[in-house]
Structure 1
Amino acid sequence: MESLLRNTFLFLSKNRAANRTAKKYGLRFGAKRFVAGVQISEAVTAIRELNAKGIVATLDHLGEFITTAEEAREATDYCIRTLHEIASSGANSHLSLKMTQLGLDISVELCMKHMRMILDVAKQHNNFVRIDMEDYAHNRVSIEIFEQLRKEYGETIGLVIQAYLYKSADDISALAVHRPNLRLVKGAYKESHEVAFPRKEDVDRNFKRIIEQHLLDGNYAAIATHDEAIIEHVKQFVKEKGIPKSQFEFQMLYGIRVQAQQQLADEGYTMRVYVPYGDDWYGYFMRRLAERPANVLFVLKSLFKS
């Protein structure tokens, strides 16, 4: 049943008609638990509340199904506005983005142009931009773009590596020359068994492996997980190896395991929450439902509340 639910929600996440309907009706049926709001101001308010609790953030303007250069430019403008709003509000937040929003599927050149516009503003505000990794079809080109922009913008830019891909350990080895700031995740897309581990236990094993590999290389790791076993493993590993808390952080999603987020912050770890906002929230919401049956139960309960 869990596998069926996951596949169903992943399928729905790519349904354009359902996405249009979701935009029409807004943040209903439990989506507001996982999405900070539609407007930048709502997201910044959420971040400032997190900051007051000792938790930092990364802000993501959600977007799916970009098909024209005009849409890509609009998404770019949103990213730039977001960086300006973070700076003017004094919020402690980075920016995360997906390059398909910036026109990657239209042309690499268009995407690179938009990335440079965003990174110029990030550098102006002494902020940081993370490229979110998308599905396997975009993996290689995303790494290549990151490598080029890392040479141009240095520590202003970071990348995501997904543990469920067979190639990720090799990717981390190859990227080590750039001294990269990497967010390490399990991975949330449905991929072929030819490129990704099909079993959870193998993904978990590889996740631990790439975390250890990246930390032992001496590079900064953003460890994005809600898995208590992984978190405890990291705590023990860094203690044994004498790795300082300044070399890594934990990351979780907005609205998930809120108490655990606070506990990690209270223990002195850097705790960063991924805060999504925007009216194009549907695909993101479906992927959150696909990840855990408990999320589905939360939404079903919300339907029957008065």
Structure 2
Amino acid sequence: MMLKDTLLYLSQNARVHDFVIQNPLARGASRRFVAGEDIEDAVQAARTLNRHGIQVALDYLGENVTTEQEARGATDAYVSDIDIIKRAGVDANISIKLTALGLDIDQSLCEENVTKILQQAQEHSLFVCIDMESSAYTARTVDITLRMHERFEHVGTVIQSCLYHSKKDIERLITQGIRVRLVKGAYSEPNTIAYQNKSDVDRNYVQLMSLLLARGNYPAIATHDEEIINAACKYVRDHGISKDAFEFQMLYGIRRDLQENLSKRGYNVRVYVPYGSQWYPYLMRRMAERPANLMFVLSNVLR
């Protein structure tokens, strides 16, 4: 827990960010988990995954912008990337972060930008997942998703099993037929609102997963935890749920063997492929989640 908290703290430290982002060794090591810094890199990664029968969720990295210009720039990048994705013919959808679209500045600005992206995605029949960020944004993210879904059917969001309130949020989303991506959570949260022990987070994940598999609209079970994956496979088998009724999701560069194994067994698998110059906070959260990722990065830097 101490290592995780330290890494999450460093992910928000501006001085460390500036040092790492300019370090060629760290940039090279990041390519294991980040496709590259532009959409062309991401499309190439998507093509490779598609050839193995794996779908993709593309995520243009960036968060917590502080100016309207940055928020509109991120919006324009998403809109442009949607066109590129469709022209490339890859099997991919996209994920967006509300703080990259101006949520910290003004919620109306953020919703205007989200609307622009969803309008473009709708023209191409492309699904958009609104990513979940820290608990400071959970309620607003769910509310914005619910409002957007009134106009755009192809939008969903993410729920984190570490939070106490997640079952109520999932119930609201299920009622409206909104697609949910279930994750454990990659942010440091206080014990007043979140489980602190991994066993509790895992137990809640399985409970929420069962709820989504039974009643959800094509849920995404996002995990690399083999015990949970096996529990999902058993649940759908025992309850006669089709493999086409949900998908497993995993992160780019993590457990490629597991991704391909599930795909060969006939399950739908989607890999979350991040790209962009703002890769540092994302990489630090991945290392905080799984110490093996930290060892991979350090070994590459040392080599």
TM range (shorter): over 0.9
Is contact 1:29–1:299 with CA below 8 Å preserved after alignment? no
CA distance in 2, matches of 1:20, 1:119: 33
AA aligned to 1:73 is: R
5+ residue gaps, structure 2, are none
Q: Over residues 59-106 of structure 1, what are the superposed CA-to-partner deviations in whole Å (9 max), with x where a residue is unaligned?
A: 000013310000001111111111111101001100001100000011
Structure 1 residue 171: Cα displacement: 1.2
What one-letter code is carried by the residue in structure 2 that aligns with 1:224?
A: A
Counterpart mapping for 1:31-180 below 5 A: 31-154=30-153, 156-180=154-178
Q: Give the CA RMSD over aligned residues.
A: 1.1
In the TM superposition, residue 28 of structure 1 has moved relative to its aligned partner by 2.2
Contact 1:54–1:265 (8 Å) recurs in 2: yes
Provide the secondary structure at the position in 2 that maps to 1:30: helix
Aligned counterpart, 2:242: 244
Contact 2:64 2:102 survives alignment (8 Å): no
**1:250 CA drift (Å):** 0.2
Within-5 A mapping of 1:210-229:
210-229=208-227
**1 CA distance for matches of 2:91 and 2:220?**
16
User: SS of the residue aligned with 1:35?
Assistant: coil
Does the CA contact (< 8 Å) of 2:7 and 2:284 recur in 1? yes
Q: Helix, strand or coil: the match of 1:28?
A: helix
Are the aligned partners of 2:179 and 2:216 in contact in 1 as well (CA < 8 Å)?
no
Alignment map for 1:289-300 (pairs within 5 Å): 289-300=287-298
Say whether the 8 Å CA contact 1:131–1:159 is kept in structure 2.
yes
CA contact (8 A) 2:173 2:179 kept: no
In the TM superposition, what whole-angstrom CA distance separates every residue of 1:201-238 from its partner, at most 9, and x where no partner exists?
Answer: 11111101011112222422100000000000000000
SS in 1 for 2:151: helix
Q: CA offsets, 1:5-62, max 9 Å, x none?
A: 2111100111123223333335525211100000110110010000011000000000
Q: For residues 262 and 176 of structure 1, what CA distance do their matches in structure 2 show?
A: 29
- Count of residues in Structure 1 that have an aligned counterpart in Structure 2: 302
Separation in 2 of the partners of 1:92 and 1:245?
A: 18
Runs of 5+ consecutive residues of structure 1 not aligned to the other structure = none
SS of 1:187's equivalent in the other structure is coil
Q: Displaced runs of 4+ in structure 1, greater than 6 A?
A: none
Structure 1 pair 144–218 and aligned structure 2 pair: CA distance change class (3 A) = closer
Corresponding residue for residue 29 of structure 2: 30
CA contact (8 A) 1:185 1:224 kept: yes
Which residue of the partner structure matches residue 196 of structure 1? 194
- 3-state SS, counterpart of residue 195 of structure 2: coil
Q: Which amino acid aligns with 2:193?
A: V
Matched residue type, 1:178: Q
CA distance in 2, matches of 1:151, 1:224: 25
Quick check: 212-221 or 239-248, which moved more? 212-221
Q: Distance in 1 between matches of 2:158 and 2:116?
A: 20
Contact 2:60 2:276 in 1 (8 A): yes
Amino acid aligned to 1:75 = A
Aligned residue for 2:70, secondary structure, equals helix
Letter in 1 for 2:152: Y
Aligned AA for 1:122? A
Q: Distance in 2 between matches of 1:192 and 1:19?
A: 24
Whole-Å Cα distance in 2 between the matches of residues 92 and 107 of structure 1?
33
Tell me how far 1:174 sits from its aligned partner. 2.0
Amino acid at match of 2:222: A
Counterpart residue type for residue 260 of structure 1: L
Q: Secondary structure at the match of 1:153?
A: coil
TM-score normalized with structure 1 length: 0.96
Q: Given residue 169 of structure 1, which amino acid in structure 2 is its aligned partner? A: K
Between the two proteins, what is the percent identity of the paired residues? 45
* One-letter amino acid of the counterpart of residue 56, structure 1: Q
